[in-house]
Amino acid sequence: MINFDSKREITELKKYIAYNKKGTNPHLDSNIGLFRYIKDADKIKTFLPQGKILDWGCGLGQMSYFLKNRGFEVVSYDIDQGGREFLSRIGQLLIAAKDPVNLPFPAASFDAVLSSGVLEHVSDPVGSLSEISRVIKKNSYLFVFRLPNKYSYIEFISDCLGHGDHPVKYSVREIKQILKSSGYEVLQIGYRGFIPYNLKGFHPLIRRFYHLLDSLLSMIDAVLTFLPIVNVFSTNIDLVARKK
């Protein structure tokens, strides 16, 4: 259930985002989608009560917003400076990348790095994971959320329909091996999102009707995501790792 503070966060976030622009933010045009980001921020808080976090590939900036609300010092970082009005409105400075792999931060600068829907898009994942390891302190955390699952039925359908935008996908086994070889210990890993939380590419009227069922869909999704064998076909892999 969404608590009072989360309701306030969702209401405030919606005021900042231009939903009238069709297709601008399909991952944020429903309460179920927004609440998943809130749950991610809350999860980070359980592992790291306070500290400095790099929002690596911050995108619009919704996770920077949620993490700031939870008392973290957040550094928002992305590949370019365009379309970042939301960050400006919440008083958050964007640091733009000048290199696809190397990070412009001294060693051991952060207590954690967040990758939310980012790792699958980078040109050199092993090199990027090495750079992340360099800029976080010993025993600090790497949070990887929304990593596309290689066996996801939704990813398969999206690719068939020409709506897919994740050419790189991972299995649980593959990402664990990559992280281990990059010097990380995986503390927690699991599947997320069996039922789609947005219908990207569908007509706006269909999406609007679909989101009227958000509460019901959330309950069904929670069950299916934790059913053995069934959950292997979920959309994403979420994990928490720690630098050894």
pLDDT at residue 20 above 50? no
Cα–Cα distance for residue pair 57/41, rounded to 1 Å: 15
Instruction: Classify residue 187: in a domain, yes or no.
Output: yes
- Mean predicted lDDT score pLDDT of the chain: 89
Q: For 154, what's the count of Cα atoms within 13 Å in the CB-facing half-sphere?
A: 20
Total of domains in the chain = 1
Determine, yes or no, domain membership for 62: yes
pLDDT at 22 over 60: no
Would residue 241 count as lying in a domain? no
State residue 8's pLDDT score: 81
Report whether pLDDT(165) > 70: yes
The dihedrals phi and psi of 149, each to the nearest 5 degrees, come to -85, 125
Q: How far apart are CA 125 and CA 177, in angstroms?
A: 13
Q: Is 155 contained in some domain?
A: yes
Q: For residue 240, is it within any domain?
A: no
> Considering the entire predicted model, what is its pTM?
0.91
DSSP conformation letters of 42-104: HHHHHH-SS-EEEEET-TTSHHHHHHHHTT-EEEEEES--TT-HHHHHTT-PEEEPSSSS--S
- Asked if the structure places residue 243 within a domain, the reply is no
Residue 207 lies in a domain: yes
| CA 100/CA 103 separation, integer angstroms | 8
In terms of residue numbers, what domain contains 60?
Answer: 4-234
101 within some domain: yes
CATH number at residue 170: 3.40.50.150
